[in-house]
Every structure is written in C-alpha cells, then in structure tokens.
Amino acid sequence: MDDDHNPGQGATTATSEALFSFGVLTDIQYADLEDGYDFWGINRRYYKHSLCHLQSAIEDWNGTEVQFVLQLGDIIDGYNAQYNMSERALERVMEEFKKLRVPVHHIWGNHELYNFNRDYLVHSALNTKYLQDQIFLSNTCRDQTSTGDNAAEFYYAYQFCPMSNFRFILLDAYDLSILGRDTSTQKYQDSLHLLREKNQNENLNSPLGLVEYQFVQLNGGFSQEQLDWVDDVLTHADKNQEKVVIMVYSVKQKTKGTGRLNVTARSHQYWSSPWEYLQRRSTCREFASPFLARKNTLFQPTVALGLTGNTLWPHLIFQKTKCC
C-alpha cells in the first residue's frame, strides 16, 4: 500500500502501476436526530448529517475506479434502539448504499449489536458473506455457517479475493461478547463470566479501577474457533503466495479528562482490542501458533475515517511497486 498516496486523489504516480483500489469508511452512526455528543460528552456526533457525508462518499467512489468498498462497522447509532428507529435507520442508510456501483462488504461493530441481535443481522443486508471466495470454501472443511444445530454460536467472518494474489479477511470482533448473543448460548455465558470476573463495576461499560481496561461490555473478542479458521485462511494464502489484508472493527476507549486508554491483552488472549491482540500474537514468542506471524500479512488498522466526526473518506490503491 502506498503510504505516500493521498487518499483523496485517484491517480497514481508515473513510476508505479496500480493493481486495484477500494473505498473504506466506518462509524457512519446514522440516526434521525439532531447533532449531539458521544457517551463521554467529548466528541461531537453528527447523527443526521452523517448521511450527507455518506452520500458524498458514494458519489465520489462512483466517479472513480474502486473495485469495492469496506464498511467497517457502526453503520447506525445505538440511539436508534432507544427510539424504536433501528430498522428504519438501517433501511435509510442502505438506500444510499444501493446507489453504489460496486460491491460493499460490511463488518459489524458494537452499535449494530445495540440495535439488533445476531440472528437479525445474519438475515439482513449487513450480512455480505455471500461475497466470499467460493474456491477457498471448496478446499477447506472448517468454514462455519449460520444455519444448523450450532447457528446460535456462529461468528461472522469471511474472506474474499478482489484479484489474483490478494486476499482480504473480515473478522468478527464480537464473537465473544454479551452484545447481540442469546442469553442461552454458551458464548454468552462464557463472555459474561469473563467480563464479571475482570470488571466488578456496576456499570460494565465503565473501565474505572480496572487493571485491564479492555474488559468492558462494549468490547469483545475472538473465539478459538474463529482464530483457527483465520489460521486456515493464512495457511492457504502462504501456499498460494497471496498478500493478505485483515480488516476488523476495533473500539478505542476514552475516559473523560484523561484521553485514550492503552488497551492491552496481558492476561486473556481472546478478549482485547482486536488489533492490539492480532499484532501482539504476530510478534510475541509466547504464542506458539503461526497465526498472523506471516510476512504476507498487511496490517492497516487506521485507514478508515469515521463519518460522524470527520468529513473525509479515503479510497486506497494497491500499487505494484509496494505490494508485489
């Protein structure tokens, strides 16, 4: 990926050959409400006007040569649930995405799970798993579906190839979480037990007094089943000499008056800020598995810009001089 490339420009330099480009956006957090502030009362939120920025982004992408768009989560705001507006808000946003001339891949964040349970999401337009690479599926037996006896325990993750020698992996950062899971499921029970063990606050979204700040209700983690699946995908990519890009929703917590919290994965390897966990696992000797310890894995955790607090959106171009 060309680090010197201006995301707002569609052209590449004369010395490089563009392989493909794609759009990225996150945190639209639309609601038919007037502007307000986030949970901590710090950042301005443009609930209603975020739709205008989405419209501008789609118009821009339709005028370029992007092959697809990645929507990285929090497509509507949690406030919609309080006013019984969740379905209408999602419909309104999806009406705009229908104007996009290329496929869009959706990831689920915590705000999706504030508004809907996982059963609803898997049958909604936010489930874009049908876009996954079918050739890889035919060569592995570990892929899981959202039907059958274990449907309630499923994770939403898949992979796809925009062109030969490139593979994208979309992960489920709330595979282990109490958000959106039926209370009768094992994953819900395991997540609640871990959360209460690590967080004794009455408000489980509060990190106050915690040694490990990641253990709050709005966060989540990966099951071993999902990690094993990713390892299968990366093994396949290694054998076929593919470049891999991993995309996942990641919460960055803030505390009023103190700025960002440093989220780590010191004692529990599956419940953490997803990006810090993945990067830690790829570099620390304590993890024996080859998971993500791959030279062909491209980490890009900060390429997306939220529309609720930023009017910019990037489209990214892979160039032959950088990625091949």
pLDDT in tens, 98-139: 999 999 999 999 999 999 999 999 999 999 999 999 887 666
Determine what percent of the chain is predicted with pLDDT higher than 90.
42
Nearest-5° angle of CA 26, CA 31, CA 37?
A: 80
3-class DSSP assignment, residue 270 = coil
CATH (one of 3.60.21.10, 3.30.70.260, 3.10.20.90, 1.10.10.10) for 1-107+301-324: 3.60.21.10
Residue 222 tokens, joined: 């990966």
pLDDT in tens, 203-261: 988 888 988 878 888 888 888 898 889 889 988 988 999 988 888 887 654 433 332 22
> Which residue is associated with the tokens 């890889």?
136
Say if residue 5's pLDDT is above 90.
no
The confidence score (pLDDT) of residue 293 equals 32
The confidence score (pLDDT) of residue 12 equals 44
Which of the four pLDDT bands, split at 50, 70 and 90, describes residue 140? low
pLDDT in tens, 37-70: 876 788 888 899 999 999 999 999 999 989 999 9
Residue 56's CB: how many other CB atoms inside 10 A? 14
Per the CB < 8 A criterion, the answer to whether 56 and 39 are in contact is no
Q: Note the pTM of the prediction, 2 decimals.
A: 0.78
List every span in the chain annotated with CATH 3.60.21.10. Answer: 1-107+301-324
